[in-house]
Each structure stands twice: as C-alpha cells, then as structure tokens.
Structure 1
Amino acid sequence: MRPGTPNFGECSSSTSLSSHLEDVDDDHMIAVVLTEEYAKLDGAIARRLANLAPIAHAPRINLYIPNQSDASLEYHRLLQRLNVYGLHEVKVSGDGNCQFRALSDQMFKSPKYHKLVRKDIVKQIKDYRSLYEGYIPMKFSRYYKKMAKSGEWGDHITLQAAADKFVAKICLLTSFRDTCFIEIVPRSQTPKRELWLSFWSEVHYNSLYAVQDVPVQQKPRKKHWLF
C-alpha cells in the first residue's frame, strides 16, 4: 500500500477519515453561509475616515521588521488613530496567521476560517501567476509554497491577491507615520464588499469595526447532525 493511502479494510481508520471529511465539509458550508450573510459594504467606517485620502497600494513582500522601540511607538500611534475615529479592533492571535485570521473575521465574523482564507489566496497567486510574479524577489514556486504554510506571515502581495480573489476593497488603518490609510482594490472588478483591518505596521493585523458595530461573539454552531 502506498504511504498515505487510507486502509478502507480497517473500520476504525475508515470511520476516522469519514468523520474528518465531514468536519471539513461542514466548516466549508458554514463559511459559505457566513460570507453570504456578511458580504456588505461597511459604510460606517468609511464615513468616519471620509476626510482621509487613501494611499495607493504597492504589492511587496515584508522587507523591514521594526525593532522593539520603533514598534512600541508605532503601536501607540495606531491606538491614537483608533481612538480619534471611534474604531475598535477585534484582536486575533499573533501566531503568524494574523493577516488571514483578520480577513476571516471580516468575511465570516470569526477568525477560525483562516486556513480556508490562506488556501484561497495562495491558489489565486498560483492560478494568476502573471499578476503577482513581478513583485516577488525570489523563485515563484518557492514563494507560494512558503506562503501556503500555516504560520507564514502574510504580506502586501497576499493582500492584493485577497482583494482580487474575494472581489473586495481591503482598507488598512495603519501605524505608519506618513501613511495612515491604505486601500487595496481588485485589479479588474468593482468591489462587492469592504474588509477593514488595522495594521500595526509590519508586526500585526487585527479586524476593524466601528465601535457601535462590534459583533457579538457567536457561539460555535452545532454540526447539522446534532440537535
């Protein structure tokens, strides 16, 4: 038998595989329902930031990680901006998946679908190589294989791919001194939704809401066979 081939002659192995596949299918089904439910333009935040001129986005990999002192100053600057505009961060884990977790929270009102989000973004990059390869200063296959791994930091290329894949305008309120507000728009389609992230620059992403619109934490949904 080839390595990795399930032994369907063993009842326990077959049952385990079937259960795993059902869990994956259920998570995907719930994600689809949630993204349809929440795929609305978030006009509340846009109105709050109407006086800010967005900066054009330039896809690039992460080149600079600030030292502790600079990062602390950047974080306080971001907090001040959140307070000024009455915005609230839904914080996600800083485990290397934060960009994908924050995008998941914006689309599905839960960060738990970050693996699905990452998979879709990497597939977008692979399937439309010509759109992204020019921004990648390494072998293309090395880049997307690296980015497919859980814990690999998302960058400004994955943000552009997310905007293209999900037909979304991605809006970043940042901690950059001279670049407070960045918009990433789909290359060839009119956006169908807005996804709002806070960006502690080159350190961490969180999901962003107007204070009055912060979603109530949802209880985990039961599997369809439970009552």
Structure 2
Amino acid sequence: MMINGNAHFGESSSSSSVSSQQDIEDDKMIAMVLSEEYAKLDGAVGQRVSHLAPIPHVPRINSFIPDSNNASLDHQRLTQRLNVYGLYEVKVSGDGNCQFRAVSDQLYRSPEYHRHIRKEVVKQLKDYQSLYEGYVPMKYKRYYKKMAKSGEWGDHVTLQAAADKFAAKICLLTSFRDTCFIEIVPQYQPPKRELWLSFWSEVHYNSLYDLRDAPLHRKPRKKHWLF
C-alpha cells in the first residue's frame, strides 16, 4: 500500500511541476508579444520630472525595513511628490514580488508576468556574476538562489540586473527625504526604453504613469488573450 501511495504522490508532484513550468513558458510567450507591442514609449512621465537631477545609482541588497512611524512619513512624502508631478500609481500586490510586478506592468502593461521577469533577472545574475557579485555581501550563489524564490523581495541589485537584461533605464520616484529621483541605467548598452516605478523606500514598488495616461479601467490580461 505504501508503495502504491508513494507512486501516486510522485505522479501528482511531477504533474504539478510540469503544469508550473508550462505556466512560466506561457507567460514568457505572451510577455514577448506584449513587449513588442509596448516597446515605444511616449516619455510622458519623463517630461513631468525632466528638471530633477538623478543621483548616481549604487546597487545594494535590502538592509533594513523602516519602523511604522518612519514608513508612514515616507509614504506621505511619496504621495505628495506624486501629486506635485501629476503622476499616477498602478498599485501592484504586496506579496514580496512587487518589484517584479511593477517592472512587468511597465514592460507589458500587466503585473501578471512577474514570474517571467524574476526568471530573466535571476538568469542575468547567474550569467554575468562578475557584474554584480561585488555588491552582494554573502555567498553569491546563495544570493541568486534565494532571489529565484517567489516572494523574495527585489533589491537594487536586481534592479540593475533588470536594467541590463531589458536594456531599460529604470527611473525611481522615491520617498527618500534627500533623494527624490534615482536612475538605473544599463551598464554596457544604451537604453531602448524607460521604465518608471514609485519606490516607497524599502517597503514597496508600484508602476508609474502620467496622470493623463492613467490606465484607470485596465482589466487583467488572461492567458487566452492571444488566442
């Protein structure tokens, strides 16, 4: 009986793994189509903050989470900045995947391809270790294996890897008191697009749009959308 039970469990586990892999492949295919569809950006958000001088970006891992009082003040500061510059946040789920969801929304107009984004970023980290390991104060293999797990918070190293992988200038409007605007640019190629994210510092990322272009009634894309 135990042998039969174990065999059945193995089949179930294998089936689940195949299904999960197929989901990732489906997301990858749809993401490629959407990336082509939305590759040309009008730069409306950039025009809103064109007078701001970005600070140099230094990749780093997450080091601390602000306490509730500081987090609340930071959120108020970010909200004020969004209002001043006429920007709109597409809010993504705070499930630990928010950075990857926000990047997905900017690339594909949907946060639902975050698994594909994470997979591509981790591949970039693995394939080009020499570009990033100096910013990671732990065993590098342990770092990228941890970052491959769903729900693991992205950091400024993964943002740099995303900028490099997708040939994108990633622009952050932040809640930092002294640092309103950060640009992350590809290291060895000119950027082909701009991605705009809000950063409630060390807590959450969202996707940014010009208020006039706000996707107020966007519906989630389904996997059957292409067919």
Following superposition, the deviation at residue 111 of structure 1 comes to: 0.6
- Partner in structure 2 of residue 218 of structure 1: 219
Pair 1:163 & 2:163 matched: yes
**Matches of 2:16 and 2:155, distance apart in 1:** 36
Which residue of structure 2 lines up, in the alignment, with residue 82 of structure 1?
82
Give SS of 1:69's match. Answer: helix
- Is contact 1:42-1:193 (8 Å) kept? no
Tell me the secondary structure at the aligned position of residue 93 of structure 1: coil
By how many angstroms is 1:218 displaced?
3.2
Residue 101 of structure 1: aligned partner: 101
SS of structure 1 residue aligned to 2:107: helix
Letter in 2 for 1:223: H
Contact 2:173-2:182 at 8 Å conserved across structures: yes
The answer to whether the 8 A contact 2:92-2:111 is kept is yes
In structure 1, C-alpha distance between the alignment counterparts of 2:226 and 2:114, rounded to whole Å? 24
Aligned to 2:112: 112
Query: Structure 2 counterpart of 1:181, which letter?
Result: F
**Higher mean Cα deviation, 181-190 or 211-220?**
211-220
Aligned to 1:123: 123
Paired residues of 2:74 and 2:201 also in contact (CA < 8 A): yes
User: Are residues 111 and 49 of structure 1, via their aligned partners in 2, closer, same or farther at CA, if it must alter by over 3 Å?
Assistant: same
Q: CA deviation at 1:87?
A: 0.2
CA RMSD of aligned residues (A): 2.6
Q: Label 1:75 to 1:213 Cα distance change in 2 as closer, same or farther (>3 A).
A: same
Instruction: State the SS of the aligned residue for 2:224.
Output: coil
**Deviation readout 1:31-86 (Å, 9 max, x if unpaired):** 11111111123411111101110111000001121100000000000000000000
Contact 1:42 1:194 in 2 (8 A): no
Listed as ranges, the matches of 1:3-18 within 5 Å are none
Structure 1: which amino acid aligns with 2:53? A
Pair 88,15 (structure 1): closer, same or farther in 2 beyond 3 Å: same
Q: Whole-Å Cα distance in 2 between the matches of residues 115 and 109 of structure 1?
A: 15
Question: Which has the larger share of helix?
Answer: 2
On the 8 A contact 2:26/2:223 being kept in 1, the answer is no
Shift of 1:157: 0.2
The superposition leaves residues 20-41 of structure 1 with CA deviations (integer Å, 9 ceiling, x where unpaired) of 6665443322111111111123
Query: d(CA) in 2 for partners of 1:17 and 1:122?
Result: 19
Report the secondary structure of 1:29's partner residue.
helix
Unaligned 5+ segments in structure 1 are: none
- Residue-pair matches, total: 220
| Gap change, CA 1:50 and 1:141, over 3 Å in 2 | same
Displacement of 1:19 in angstroms is: 6.7
| CA–CA separation in structure 1 for the residues paired with 2:214 and 2:101 | 16
Q: Which residue of 2 aligns with 1:177?
A: 177
Distance 1:161 1:183 in 2: 13
SS of residue matched to 1:223:
helix
Cα 1:84–1:142 change in 2 (3 A) is: same
TM-score by length of 1: 0.88
Report the Cα distance in structure 1 between the residues aligned to 2:144 and 2:196, rounded to whole angstroms: 25
Give the whole-Å Cα distance in 1 for the aligned partners of 2:28 and 2:130. 29
Structure 1 125/24 Cα, relative in aligned 2: closer, same or farther at 3 Å? closer
Change (3 A) 1:123 1:222: closer
Q: Which amino acid aligns with 1:146?
A: K
